[in-house]
Structure 1
Amino acid sequence: MITSVAIVGCGWFGTPLAKFLLDKNLKVFGSKRTPQGADALSEDGIHGFALDLDDTCAFNDSTSQSEQLNKTQQALWQDALIVNIPPGLRSGKSDYLERLQRLKTLIGDHQYQRVVFVSTTGVYAADGRCHDETSASAYDDKSETLLAAEQLFLDYSCCTVLRFAGLVGPKRAPGRFFAGKRDIAGANLSVNMTHLDDCIGATYQVLQAQHSGNNIFNVCGEQHPTKQAFYFAATQKLGLPTPAFAVDNDASLDKTVCGQKIVNELNYQYHYSDPMVMLEHC
């Protein structure tokens, strides 16, 4: 039975997840990159701890650093572990796998009841298909890195990978992305979206599930409006200038993600299946 959870990465998703798990009477440990951030988590009842996987100096063998690493290990060694580290690949960062490997080194040989690794539907190519969990491919350097990251944690026999589609929710209103822009490509391409409430709900469902072994689940709303329709509605909702899209009809570049497997196997019920409805809850 899982009674304690460590969350590595308490940002836009990790912090509300931690608060949700607290409300479920779980003991929750959460990491931030700075001591100040960790203290802020502690003020909310979360056992905050500082962990900056970019700080290679923090992983040396000095006595003071060893003491701090021991404290970090104690925070990580809970019944369940949720790894939620943004890859940063779009911003040009290239050390994602190195950061994850440092985390694994910290974990050592601790035995978890459940590991949840947060990934992305970026592992699916825009090739005109509807993608389920079996159709991921290393179609470019970024997807190759993402799949290698998943595999680092699928080495744990109790790991579940959750591949989130485009993220929307409080403080992440998509209307700001393309407001007032012109000649945007992909007017008729499908959008694949996941609301924060479903990121949290799917993660909790995995923690509660009795299944054993590894698994991979997409988390994505069932409906897929066009990019043009979705972002037009998103900007209107915020009262921002609507975007203008270029005329294109290249269906071979479309991509839809199927999020049904988690429904079929874990009986998960989505809060929001329609991205248009998600806009009302951002």
Structure 2
Amino acid sequence: MKQISILGCGWLGLPLAERLLEKENLVKGSTTSENKLSILEKAGINPFLVALESESVSESITDFLSESEILIIDIPPKLRGNQSFSTPLEMTFVRKIENLIPFIEKSIVKKVLFVSSTSVYGDENDLINEETIPNPETESGKQLLLAENILLENKNFQTTILRFGGLIGEDRHPVKHLSGKENLENPDAPVNLIHQNDCIGIIESIINQSKWNEIFNAVAPFHPTREEYYTQKAKEQNLVLPKFSSEQSNIKKVVLSKKIENVLDYKFRLANY
């Protein structure tokens, strides 16, 4: 039995906490919404109201981290896509992580799992693995990479970085937003997706096998084209088919997860996709 703190009990963090509880771990979970505290408590999670800001951190962070062996950081950057580093809000997410670091150092947390994204690789036309040099193009990708490095370089705890592809689940699928749209770009670009169930299963495997000081790409090992995949999913869900541009795709990025399959001996649950 382990004591685990999950910073960010949202779409992924909440079901992850519930799964860890099923395995008889003790779980603390944070939210920024007072209304969600009762939801966490009802699920058996020790709830905390924690706001991680670029200038400060809630006083509750100390109790949230207290007695926990493992910290899982699952908070999105929430940055405007076109924001540049020259804006007044430069490195907002990075500053949040920097503000969090001293509290981790003062706690007994020695293992950190940071949920990141394959957006740190940009859209190079290539096969991407963990040895690929990141080259983020979006603001969120740039700040995620900086946050990764800040955590990895800290010698007070061990950090594992988990870079997820596009997130999907029973209640979350991009085809619902693409349905009926026309002239969609990059019809031949391969999809790089991962299901919520696999996200949780991989995190469980990392914790159970104590795989720290690692970087893992987490993307399901099937990569049909955007046009093939979303057309088929729209048909399955009886949605208006999306229409793609006839122009050739200029993105051929395929993110590989061989390391997860080999090091963790993890089997992706393709039936859910």
Give the TM-score taking structure 2 as reference length: 0.89
One-letter amino acid of the structure 2 residue matched with residue 105 of structure 1:
P
Amino acid at match of 2:187: A
Identity of aligned residues (%): 30
Q: Deviations over 1:254-275 (max 9, x none)?
A: 1000011011112122222xxx
Determine which of 63, 85, 88 is the counterpart of 2:75. 85
Range with greater deviation from structure 2 (167-176 or 220-229): 167-176
In 2, the alpha carbon distance for the partners of 1:195 and 1:161 equals: 18
Match of 2:188 in 1: 188
- Residue 170 of structure 2 corresponds to 170
Q: How many angstroms apart in 1 are the aligned matches of 2:75 and 2:223? A: 27
How many Å separate the matches in 2 of 1:144 and 1:138? 8
Superimposed CA distance per residue, residues 146-192 of structure 1 (whole angstroms, 9 cap, x where no aligned partner):
21011122134411100000000021022212110001110011000
Structure 2 counterpart of 1:159, one-letter code: T
Q: Which structure has the highest helix share of the two?
A: 1
Choose the corresponding residue for 1:149, options 104, 127, 147.
Answer: 147
Amino acid at match of 2:252: D
**Equivalent residue runs for 1:13-24 within 5 Å:** 13-24=12-23
Structure 1 residue 233 displacement after superposition = 1.6
1:106 maps to 103
Shift in Å, 1:139:
4.1
Please say if residues 187 and 249 of structure 2, whose CA atoms lie closer than 8 Å, have aligned partners that are also in contact. no
Are the equivalent residues in 1 in contact too, given 2:116–2:161 (CA < 8 A)?
Answer: yes
Give a deviation string over 1:182-208, Cα, whole Å, max 9, x none.
011100110000000110001011111
- 3-state DSSP of counterpart to 1:206: helix
Task: Please say if 1:72 is aligned against 2:71.
Answer: no
Counterpart residue type for residue 130 of structure 2: E
- Rounded Cα–Cα distance in structure 2 between residues aligned with 1:52 and 1:174: 29
Is 1:97 paired with 2:94? yes
- In structure 2, distance between residues paired with 1:152 and 1:121: 17
> Within 1, Cα distance between the matches of 2:117 and 2:54?
25
| 199-208 or 29-38, larger mean C-alpha shift | 29-38
SS at match of 2:112: strand
- 1:49 equivalent in structure 2: 48
**How many residues matched?**
262
Equivalences for residues 1-282 of structure 1 within 5 A = 3-54=2-53, 56=55, 59=57, 69=59, 71-77=60-66, 78-90=68-80, 95-140=92-137, 142=139, 143-156=141-154, 157-211=157-211, 213-251=212-250, 253-272=251-270, 277-279=271-273
> Contact between 2:192 and 2:219, CA under 8 Å: does it hold in 1?
yes
Output the CA distance in 2 between the equivalents of 1:241 and 1:141.
30
Is the CA contact (8 Å cut-off) linking 1:17 and 1:200 kept in structure 2? yes
Moved over 4 A (4+): 90-94
Gap change, CA 1:105 and 1:35, over 3 Å in 2: farther
Which residue pairs with 1:64 in the alignment? none
11-20 vs 156-165, greater mean Cα deviation: 156-165
**Does the 8 Å contact 1:175/1:237 carry over to 2?**
no
Amino acid in the other structure paired with 1:261: K
Q: Deviations for 1:214-237, whole angstroms, at most 9, x for unmatched residues?
A: 110011111100000111122222
How many Å separate the matches in 2 of 1:235 and 1:103?
42
Q: Secondary structure at 2:20's aligned position in 1? A: helix
Equivalent residues of 2:183, 2:244 under 8 A apart: yes
1:22-48 CA-to-partner distances (Å, cap 9, x unmatched) read: 000000000000233223201110001
